[in-house]
Amino acid sequence: MIVTIAAHQVQSLRRRRVLAVFLGLVVAMTALAGAIGWSSHRTIVRVYNEAVTLLAAEGKTAPPNPFELKPSLSLLSNMVIYIPLIGALLAMIVGHLSVADDESSGLGRLIFSRRVSRSSYVAGKLAGTAVVIATVLAASLAVSVIALLVANGSLPGEGDLARLAGFYGLSWLYLMLFAVIGMVTVLVMSRRSLALLSALGIWLVITFVVPQVTSGLRPTTSLNPISDPAGTSEAFFRVTNRARPFSISEQYKTAGTQILQIGIGDTTAETLLRVLPIAGLLVCLAFLTAWLVGHHDYSRSTSDG
């Protein structure tokens, strides 16, 4: 039954061209991230080569190529920004659409007058969403590999591939979180339009508001946009520092940059600890979805489109 519901959901999203739009946008932003990385790489290398020629003419030794000092995956650094901005929004729409029809068109009445348990229904919906997001991210991963091949002139090594896989695994967790938020708002709100609006509000809070009141409030950020070199003694900032784990988007960005080796500082254990709040919240919201579906009155349907 879970497979039937999941397969139907994937088919439904495909038919509505939601999958195509999601896939197209994520692939396009991956290509854009690659193109920006490749363009800056090319420009810097050209300037470097000209500098090497000039320095050689003057009999001076050129410093090493800056790209030899940078990790090869740094070309994709923009993905850490695009995924929480565009990807999360699209994932939320996928989650919304996954349950909204059954809720508003009276289809839930038909589904639950069949041999379908509420838990199988939720599991099927989550599985379908997971497959859709994984498909989109797999395509993005493939485009990333092509972008690295074009920019670096060789395929990424095993270590880089593993890091890329890790980054996309983290992104899958993050996008699933927003897809489930899209589902929860449909189940909680009485109208579809309100549900979508609420989901957008939550996305705004997670993506912009919470980072501003946690990590964005570092006293050093007004001077220098880097992580604070030393802890502050002021009570207010101590509180905002403590609240940092609750900034899910901040955790994602930091863990993402660590996995891609763009950021500096965290150990593997620290990076894993940053993934925990995302995974924990996802699990909690999945259970909340199951509880809401279990207690939802599908004999009544909301009617606005």
Partner 1 sequence: MDGPVIEMSGVRHRYDDTLEVLRGIDLTIERGEVFGFLGHNGAGKTTAMNILTTLIVPTAGTARACGYDVVEQRREVTGCIGYLPADVRLYGHMTAAENLEFFARLSGVADPRRAVIETLDYLGCADLADRRVGAFSTGMRQRIGIAQAVLHRPKVLFLDEPTAGLDPLGVRQLRETMLRLNQDLAITVFMNTHLLSEVAKVCTTIGVLNHGALVYKDSIAETTRRFPNEASLEDIYALMEATSA
Q: Mutual orientation of helices 18-57 and 88-104 as an angle, nearest 10°?
A: 180
- Within 12-31, which residues bind partner 1 (CB under 8 A)? 12, 15-16
Site map (CB under 8 A) of partner 1, residues 58-97, x = contact: ----------------------------------------
- Name every residue whose Cβ is closer than 8 Å to that of residue 145 and which is 6 or more positions away in sequence: 155, 156, 161, 164
- The CB-of-300 to partner 1 minimum distance in angstroms stands at 9
Between CA 292 and CA 303, with CA 298 as vertex, the angle to 5 degrees is: 105
CA distance 256 to 174: 11
C-beta closer to partner 1: residue 17 or 42: 17
What the block records as the tokens of 76 is: 């994709």
| 227 near partner 1, judged by CB under 8 A | no
HSE at residue 164, side-chain half, CA atoms within 13 A, is 26
| 295 near partner 1, judged by CB under 8 A | no
What the block records as the tokens of 244 is: 């940092």
Residue 173, Ramachandran bin (φ over 0: left; ψ between -120 and 50: alpha; else beta): alpha
- The CB-of-298 to partner 1 minimum distance in angstroms stands at 6
| 113 near partner 1, judged by CB under 8 A | yes
Number of neighbouring beta carbons within 10 Å of residue 279: 15
| 4 near partner 1, judged by CB under 8 A | yes
C-beta closer to partner 1: residue 8 or 70: 8
Among 61, 69, 114, 264, binds partner 1 (CB under 8 A): 114
Q: By CB under 8 A, which span of 8-16, 39-47, 53-61, 76-84 interacts with partner 1? A: 8-16
Residues within the interface to partner 1 (CB under 8 A): 1, 4-5, 8, 11-12, 15-16, 101, 105-107, 109-116, 297-299
